A and B are shown apart, each in its own frame.
Chain A
Amino acid sequence: MSTENGPELLEGSAEDTTRDRYMTFNIDSEEYGIGIAYVKEIIEIVPITRVPESPPYVEGIFNLRGDIIGVLDVRKRFGKSPKEHDEQTCIIVVEHKELVLGLIVDSVNEVMTIEEDSILAPPNAKLNHYNQYIRNIGQVSKGVVLLLDLEKLLIQDVQG
């Protein structure tokens, strides 16, 4: 078993209930997955206040029961064209190293188990500018799930 295959954080304590389990969501027709251990909750889209001078994909801040939480638009983060929010649009609240953030996605699908042996490394040629956020690719019966590198998605070049 190698640590290459799953999110490293999962090697720790809560591993048994969360290992190999992924929350999947859709952007356009592709299905993406993030380790379930990172997911705090899923909420419907709420009014979001833009913070001036933040990058375009940083949607703003919103009020989650009294806490102020920043929110990213994953579409914009991937460089895809913006889409009107509809009743399918959701915010996935994730937590990673004490950073709590909301991710706006087109729709949330399901929680699924992807065994380690059905997870493949991404192609080594990085052609699309957004595949830097893809850590692995999971093969499931209905096709593939692109498993995200949450750290890169959240942190990279935000401060820059």
Chain B
Amino acid sequence: MADFDRDNMMELFSYETGQLIEQLEQFIIQSESGYTMVQINEIFRIMHTIKGSAAMMLFDSIATTAHAMEDLFYFLREENPQNVDYAKLTDLILAGMDFIKVELDKAENGLEVNGDPGSTIAPLKEFLSGLKSGEAPASAQSGISASPKSAQRVEGGQRHFDAVIFFEDGSEMENVRAFTVVQNISSFVSDIEHEPADIIHESAVEVIRKKGFHLWFSSDKPYAEIYKLLNQTVYLEKMTLHELDGKPEEVPEKKYRVSIRFNDDCEMENVRAYALVHRLTEQLEKVSHVPADLMSDASADIVRTSGLTLEISTKKKKSDLMELLEQTVYLKTLNVQEVVDAPEPAPEAKPAAEDESAPHAPKPDEAAQKKTTAPHVISVNVSKLDQLLNLMGELVIAEAMVTQNPELENLELESFHKEARQLRKIIKDLQETVMSMRMVPLSTTFFKMHRVVRDMCRQLTKNVKLVVIGEDTEVDKNIIEHISDPLMHIIRNSVDHGIEMPQARAAAGKPEEGTVTLEAKNSGGDVLIIIKDDGAGLDREKILKKAKTNGLLKKAENEYTDKEVQQFIFLPGFSTNEQVTSYSGRGVGMDVVSTNLELVGGSVLVDSVPGQGSTFTLKIPLTLAIIDGMTVKMGGAKYTIPIVAIKQSFKADKKDIFTDPNNNEMISTRGEIYNVVRLHEFFGVETAVKNIEDGILIMLENGEQTVCLLADELVGEQQVVVKSIPKYFKKTKGISGCTLLGNGDISLIIDVAGFFDKM
């Protein structure tokens, strides 16, 4: 593997594996109470893929962990054991995934991927062997036990094992490795025999590569221990270990009908089919195929349209056959049916055949079809998208610089303006496209919360259901990164502090199962994320007490409105829960929520009714980068107001202006009265325009409230690229950032929500 390729591969690997893990997490959380065959298949496939790509990247710790999970699901898939402790299984798989995530993180950060998978794998293997021993009759029947040698393996008192070991491709010197295996186990087991018998000879290499290294031995150790022992083998690709009890019966040959379809775009189907048949004939007793002639071009069409049908007779178990067939490249669908033409293998064969073919056969089909639609999406490095957005911003500014160039003023430029309008339109379309590329649905972020809730419930012994609504709402990629943490904090808070213990809930006449609702919806230029719980609500007295001890109270306790009290929880170091739990209560958290949101120009509101629960509303901008703004001049500076918040702007008539006894200025327009806010007073800056009627009034709307803002004069409407004010400046409420105008001037962007908040 050349080094220059490795970075790209690493990127792809981390992306893919990350996606797969997320997918897996969803599957697992959804199916905690039991898995359907489709889910097991899917999980198995995911683990298999992770294992494969991790092995390719030489991340052994990831590969072995994935391998262990794959083994487990392989067993579930093949044997369909009953009485599986699914909660335990879920815990194990989640632990394994967490391990992989940690390792993946190391890999992404260029650290050595060196975690010890032992402690993660051990319980998985234990669980598997527990399943297997509970499933004694099934597993006792060995897979590849047809060898006559196994007949001799029966002696009193001891257990007898039959193991097949495959080494990884490219591990080289398989015979020497096989010899090492024998050496390693020789002190624990007796009567070792192996196939090929002469492993010192060079020719053994080929045999081991193709058919695996087959071992028979006896030991007084339990299955799990032997499994562990063998599993330590380096370069182990896969291994099957069976315990034999008594004489293994001669397995009768069974007939299978296999239909295979290749991926639509794989080309040369006949050659692929030929290769497959060739591979099968090496390992199976009898293989015949339709179409019979695979060398003609016509057969390619037949295979493409009606698939390849194989008639196979073999002594191998169906699971082994499946495994063999699944290795086929470009495999799209695979259907294996056992052909029962004689009444001989009645008891075991029938359920097996039903199991695979009848109820579930169509489903892999569907999955495969879904997969074929995937190539319409390509993955792009986020940094490229960021760069594109930056360039887009530059383009918007450059366009303004050209079309609003002061040198063009007072010139008769009819066609210039026409073309400039066209240019502006194209730029706007382009910008919308660029923006839409950056939009990702919230679903991934939301589904992560299932895991959070689940883990907490198990630990806190609470019973909480998470309801997710509107997860397909889309938000700019950069924003999603910033809201994931706040969201997690709030959800944790809701489960930990909000939802009561089941007994307390029952006593309060609520259902024992608490509900946390996570909802996203669009609202104008913002996205609202609402987290609602039906827990105890915020305790006014407790918060006030805490605020008092922290010296936060500025006026008498009873003068605080409920809303004001509730906002206290977003201050640093504020937690009213006396008990510190592992999830919350250390007084960090809610202030992180508000600071994190402020970073992206969002805000958080809380509304709580005692005994009925709390609602947190996160308001985040749809996108950060470019907004339509109206720029006004005031004093020496310019301010830009987002167009979405402006209802209208107008010159005031002196007769419409009046003042109330508290010196609040008001204006009446179109039969309604509005408050007037002087921008210069609001921000404490100097300006020459003192009379309302000399300036311009801009009617601003935020939710229910409307005010008229007084500025000196209008500059104009244009798209502006939002830039942040250097961190050196304290965040000013009412200002969300700044922008460069066409002439290079800086304009401050007014944050309408913050503005109303401040009034």
Contact = CB atoms under 8 A, between A and B. Distances in A.
A82 interface: no
B723 A51 contact: no
Given A50-B685, A52-B685, A52-B735, A68 B725 contact: yes
B1 to A, nearest CB: 34
Contact of A47 (B684, B723, B745): B745
B729 A49 contact: no
Contact of B738 (A49, A101, A154): A49
A50 to B, nearest CB: 6
A54 interface: yes
Nearest to B397: A66
Range of interface residues on chain B? 20 to 34
B729 A70 contact: yes
A47 B729 CA distance: 18
Contacts of B748: 49, 51-52
Contact of A68 (B636, B683, B685, B746): B746
B745 A63 contact: yes
A99 B728 contact: yes
Contacts of B740: 63, 66, 68
B684 A53 contact: yes
Contacts of A63: 740, 744-746
Interface string B723-759: 1111111101011001010001111100000000000
A68 B732 contact: no
B738 A68 contact: yes
B637 interface: yes
A158 B730 CA distance: 8
Kindly state the interface size class of chain A when it binds its partner.
Answer: 20 to 34
A61 interface: yes
Interface in A91-106: 99-101
A37 interface: no
A159 interface: yes
B725 A61 contact: yes
Contacts of A154: 728
Nearest to A158: B728
Interface in B496-526: none
A49 B638 contact: yes
Interface string B322-361: 0000000000000000000000000000000000000000
Given A50-B685, A51-B725, A53-B684, A62 B746 contact: yes
B735 A51 contact: yes
Interface string B560-580: 000000000000000000000
A114 interface: no
Contacts of A144: none
Contact of B728 (A47, A53, A66, A101): A101
Contacts of A100: 726
A69 interface: yes
A96 to B, nearest CB: 11
A82 to B, nearest CB: 14
A100 B728 CA distance: 9
Nearest to B682: A52
A136 B725 CA distance: 33
A69 B726 contact: yes
A97 to B, nearest CB: 12
Nearest to B683: A52
A80 B730 CA distance: 24
B684 A52 contact: yes
A61 B738 contact: yes
A53 B638 contact: no
Nearest to B636: A50
A9 B202 CA distance: 64
Contact of A49 (B397, B724, B728, B746): B746
A69 B729 CA distance: 10
Contacts of B745: 47, 49, 63
Given A68-B726, A159-B730, A49 B684 contact: no
14 contacts: A49-B637, A49-B747, A51-B729, A52-B732, A53-B730, A54-B729, A54-B732, A58-B728, A61-B726, A66-B394, A68-B725, A99-B728, A100-B726, A154-B728
Given A49-B638, A51-B732, A70-B729, 6 more contacts: A52-B748, A53-B732, A54-B732, A66-B394, A68-B738, A70-B728
Pairs A-B, 6 closest by C-beta atoms: A52-B683, A49-B746, A70-B728, A70-B726, A53-B732, A49-B637
Interface of B: 394, 397, 636-638, 683-685, 723-730, 732, 734-735, 738, 740, 744-748
